[in-house]
Chain A
């Protein structure tokens, strides 16, 4: 016997939880399905927790403007989980950068985002960067945000959450979708949102819809302990094969990523196919992507490379120490290769019954969902 809901939302990351709460506010009965044993177990947790103002996208003014426009709203709505006490430095590398000091200043001017020029020598070894800027950028704390949403959904009796529940089949009926889950449950709804990030094509295939044109990257983010001098600093070197080190929310730790060494493996297949899946002990395959962070097949750390790259640029007093590695799968739109844009793509595959798949770009573009949620 199947249960009926006004809306079924697949995936309990920020986009899924936001959709669930906003739908519940409008009086809809909501079922939230999550394959992990807790919300925020993958992408919302394992990323640099950057609340973007747009600086990161000097080759995509559209992404920059979108980030900037949502920045204040996000900071206001989620103020309780925002780390904003640190100084954020963006710098342009002297070599191998797709931008430079002059272009970056012009970009900030065009995007109307604050940028105060300082001497690169204050933070970087001589000659490594041709421009450095104090910017306005924050980090969110995933754990505080998760706790907030965990409490929030308890406030709404019209939200049912099913953890440890994967979607096994999706069938379109005349006026609704029927979803069968891994625990044998059967649910029906005229409105389904898939907000599963890296598993988006997996869900689309189950529903019989065309896949997003994406590539997949198995990524590693380093968590490190900053030295006292680095503690209240976030530093990002642009725009190319460089690195970013910044506070990981309010944890007192820093996250470190690098464009070259953070992605370990890449798959260009419609469904993510990786050699490491054979080492996962049967837990991971292309039609059921396991959580890379707890997978036995996850790759060895690239910290020696990432640490070395950061130290090549940073002055010795801004040192850090390795603590742990976090792994996750990142889908990147094929069209983003040239301009490095990170659009949030919301695609409606069917109307009445409605099937929507969202491929999130950045955390603070979650408000892009408002339009479809208000239907």
Chain B
């Protein structure tokens, strides 16, 4: 598909989270540029440098002659994680459709990007590339909990990248100011979502930090599912029953007139109750901190500058 007249007329943007491996990112950007040149009349690439250990700006400038589109670089002021960085990238994108690449690792045939796009224009606002098999146990556990307790009717999977329509971006923006986990919001946007499954052709290692992943998982479970509420409810009921039982026990002992020392029982009661209270407080504090963040944080991300590479 080299003839300009046969190319797609939709303007697409590719937002790429550079990660810590600048060399891999530059290779990936080159591949995306080549592929999109073949299939699209107009497109742009937006790279987000999340304060990486190996800054990518100079490497991009070196390669800039090879790019056939506008290439911009958003430099974050300090590391803010994949989600916030992607928020910044998508905000800067102008395309009708936006490819979101949260990683530059490739375990798929590059043509899958076009396949995902084609599925999108067949009537889906959000289409994800989903690897089949080889999912991490921790991810499987997270998604099973998430899908069980979330209100969304579209289940979550491990995704490698996705394409979203401008309509979907606008929709999630209007749903919340706190885009803590884009994937969930897209799935809950009420728009048509789909996925393209593929068999991974390579093994990739996740570069995101376990701390960031677990924080994201915890925040997502607290924000988008009823897990927190259900744990609180169960604990409250348990403690209520336990307290009631203790009360009845105390009354019975009093009525039977058989005083016991009661030291052990009392200690069990106190320690159990306090454990429950602390756990409940943890959950409540987490909810409160999320609320504070949502209501007080004006900007979703802090960036240093937006540079034009080409």
Name the residue of chain A whose CB is nearest to the CB of B173.
Answer: A127
Q: Given the complex of chains A and B, what is the CA–CA distance between A275 and B64 in angstroms?
A: 12
State whether A308 and B173 are in contact (beta carbons under 8 Å apart), knowing that A241-B306, A260-B72, A260-B308 are contacts in the complex: no
In the bound complex, what is the Cα–Cα distance between A125 and B44 (angstroms)?
22
A131 within 8 A of B: no
Instruction: Name the residue on B nearest A127 (C-beta).
Output: B173
Known: A260-B308, A263-B308. A304 touches B42 (CB 8 A): yes
Question: In the complex, A275 Cα to B308 Cα: how many Å?
Answer: 17
Q: How far is the CB of A257 from chain B (nearest CB, A)?
A: 14
Cα A96 to Cα B46 with chains together (Å): 14
**Interchain nearest-CB distance for A367 vs B (Å):** 34
Q: Is A317 an interface residue (CB 8 A)?
A: no
**Out of B92, B95, B174, B303, which one reaches A126, CB within 8 Å?**
B174
The answer on a CB contact under 8 Å between A302 and B70 is: yes
CB nearest neighbor in B for A125: B170
Specify which chain B residues have a CB less than 8 angstroms from the CB of A312 in the assembled complex: 94
Roughly how many angstroms separate A263 CA and B173 CA in the complex, as a whole number? 30
Which A residues are CB-close (under 8 A) to B91? 95-96
A308 touches B92 (CB 8 A): no
For A302, the chain B residues whose CB sits under 8 A away are: 70
Contacts of B42 in A (CB 8 A): 304-305, 308
Contact partners of A241 in chain B: CB under 8 A: 72, 92, 306
Secondary structure type dominating chain B contacts: mixed
Report the separation of the CA atoms of residues A17 and B204 in the bound assembly, to the nearest whole angstrom.
Answer: 66
- Asked whether B11 is an interface residue with its Cβ less than 8 Å from the other chain, the reply is yes
Q: Is A296 an interface residue when CB atoms closer than 8 A count as contact?
A: no
Question: Is A114 on the interface with B (CB-CB < 8 A)?
Answer: no
CB neighbours (8 Å) of A126 from chain B are 170, 174
- Is there contact, CB below 8 Å, between A127 and B11? no
CA–CA, A273 and B308, complex, Å: 18
| A-contact 0/1 string along B93-104, CB 8 Å cutoff | 011000000000
Chain A residues with CB below 8 A from B65, complex form:
275
Docked pose: A305 CA to B92 CA in angstroms: 12
From B90, which residue of chain A is reached at the shortest CB distance? A95
Q: Which residues of A contact B174 (CB under 8 A)?
A: 126-127
**Which interface residue of B92, B94, B174 has the most chain A CB atoms within 10 A?**
B94
B173 cross-chain contacts in A, Cβ below 8 A = 127
- Chain B interface bracket (under 10, 10 to 19, 20 to 34, 35 or more): 10 to 19
A305 adjacent to B44 (CB under 8 Å):
yes
CA of A304 to CA of B44 in the docked complex: distance in angstroms? 10
Interface membership of chain A positions 308-327, coded 1 if the CB is closer than 8 angstroms to chain B and 0 otherwise: 11001000000000000000
In the complex, residue of chain B having the shortest beta-carbon distance to the beta carbon of A266: B308
What's the Cα separation between A96 and B42 when bound, in Å? 23
Cβ of B308 and Cβ of A304 under 8 Å apart? no
Number of A residues, CB within 8 Å of B: 17
Complex Cα spacing A312 to B91, Å: 11
CB contacts (< 8 Å) of A297 on chain B: these are none
Are B308 and A308 neighbours in the complex by a CB distance under 8 Å?
no
Judge if A40 is at the interface, Cβ distance under 8 Å: no
A240 at the interface (CB under 8 A from B): yes
Interface residue? A70 (CB, 8 A): no
Asked if A261 is an interface residue, CB under 8 A from chain B, the answer is: yes
Whole-angstrom distance between the alpha carbons of A304 and B92 in the complex? 16
- Whether B306 pairs with A261 at a CB distance below 8 angstroms is no
Q: Which residue of A lies closest to B42 (CB)?
A: A304
Nearest B residue to A261 by beta-carbon distance? B70
B308 with A305: CB separation less than 8 A: no
From B70, B92, B170, B308, A96 is in contact (CB under 8 Å) with B92
A125 to B166, CA, bound (A): 12
With a cutoff of 8 Å between Cβ atoms, the chain A residues found around residue B11 in the complex are: 304, 308
- Docked complex: A241-288 residues within 8 A CB-CB of B: 241, 260-261, 263, 275
In the complex, per-residue mask of B247-287: 1 if CB is within 8 Å of any chain A CB, else 0: 00000000000000000000000000000000000000000
Interface positions, chain B 149-202, Cβ under 8 Å from A, are: 170, 173-174
CB proximity of B47 to chain A, nearest CB, Å: 14
Q: Which of B294-310 contact A (CB under 8 A)?
A: 303, 306, 308
CB closest chain-B residue, reference A264: B310
Given A127-B173, A304-B11, A305-B42, answer yes or no on A96-B306 (Cβ-Cβ < 8 Å).
Answer: yes
The minimal Cβ–Cβ distance linking B230 to chain A, given in whole angstroms, is 34
B residues 17-44 in Cβ contact with A at 8 Å: 41-42, 44
Q: Which residue of B lies closest to A275 (CB)?
A: B65
Docked complex Cα distance between A109 and B174 (Å): 32
A261 to chain B: which residues have CB within 8 Å? Answer: 70
Residues of chain B within 8 A (CB-CB) of A95 are: 91-92
Instruction: Identify which of A126, A240, A309, A312 gathers the most chain B CB atoms within 10 Å of its CB.
Output: A312
**Interface of chain B residues 42 through 56 with chain A (CB within 8 A):** 42, 44
CA distance A309 to B44 in the complex (A): 12
Closest residue on chain B to residue A302 by CB atoms: B70
Q: How far is the CB of B66 from chain A (nearest CB, A)?
A: 13
A339 to chain B, nearest CB (A): 14
With A305-B42, A308-B11 as given contacts, are A240 and B306 in contact (CB-CB < 8 Å)? yes
Q: In the complex, what distance in Å separates the CA atom of A96 from the CA atom of B174?
A: 18
Residue on B nearest A312 in the bound complex, by CB: B94
Complex Cα spacing A70 to B174, Å: 43
Contact B306 A308 (CB under 8 A): no
Q: How many angstroms between the C-alpha atoms of A96 and B95 in the bound complex?
A: 17
Within 8 A of A (CB), among B76-94: 91-92, 94
**Chain A residues with CB under 8 A of B44:** 305
B303 contacts which chain A residues (CB < 8 A)?
A: 96
In A59-100, the 8 Å CB interface with B consists of 95-96
The CA-CA distance from A126 to B169 in the complex, in Å, is 12
A residues adjacent to B (C-beta < 8 A): 95-96, 125-127, 240-241, 260-261, 263, 275, 302, 304-305, 308-309, 312
Known: A126-B170, A260-B70, A260-B308. 13 other contacts (CB 8 A): A96-B91, A96-B92, A126-B174, A127-B170, A127-B173, A241-B306, A260-B72, A260-B306, A305-B42, A305-B70, A308-B11, A308-B42, A309-B94
A–B Cβ pairs within 8 angstroms, 15 of them: A95-B91, A96-B91, A96-B303, A126-B170, A126-B174, A127-B170, A240-B306, A241-B92, A241-B306, A260-B72, A305-B44, A308-B11, A308-B94, A308-B95, A312-B94
